[in-house]
Structure 1
C-alpha cells in the first residue's frame, strides 16, 4: 500500500526500473502496428509494380 502519490511513483525505490520498463513496453506497442502497416503498404506497392510490369511485358510481346 502506498500512502501518497509520491510513494506510488517512487515504487519502493524501483521507480527507474518500473517506469522505464513501462515506457519501453508502451513505445513498442505503439510502434509495432505502425511498422506493420508500413511494411504492408510497401508489399502492396511492390506487388502492384510487379503486376504492372507483367502487363507491360504481355503488351510488348504481342
Structure 2
C-alpha cells in the first residue's frame, strides 16, 4: 500500500485510529508480559536461594548435632 503523505500514512485510509490503537495495545501487552516474566523469575530465584540456604543451615545443624 502506497501513501501520498505522512498524514495519509497515519490516517490509514480512515482506519488509523483502530490500526494504531491495536499496535499500542499489542505493545502494551508485550511490555506487561516482559515485566511479569522478570518479576516472576526474580521471585522464583529468591525462593530457590532461600531453600538452598535453609538446606545448608539444616545440614550444618545436623552435622553439629552428630558431633555432640
Shorter-chain TM range is 0.7 to 0.9
By how many angstroms is 1:58 displaced?
Answer: 2.3
Q: What is the TM-score with the length of structure 2 in the denominator? A: 0.71
1:13-32 per-position Cα deviation (integer Å, ceiling 9, x unaligned)? 11121001001122223332
Runs of 4+, deviation exceeding 4 Å: none
Deviation at 1:50, TM superposition (A): 0.9
Q: Over aligned residue pairs, what C-alpha RMSD do you find?
A: 1.7
What's 2:23 paired with?
22
Quote the Cα distance in structure 1 between the aligned partners of 2:41 and 2:47: 10
Relative contact order, higher structure (CA 8 A, sep 6+):
1
User: 2: distance between equivalents of 1:59 and 1:4?
Assistant: 73
Residue 59 of structure 2: SS of its match in structure 1?
helix
Q: Distance in 2 between matches of 1:2 and 1:49?
A: 58
* Residue equivalent to 1:55: 56
Match of 2:33 in 1: 32
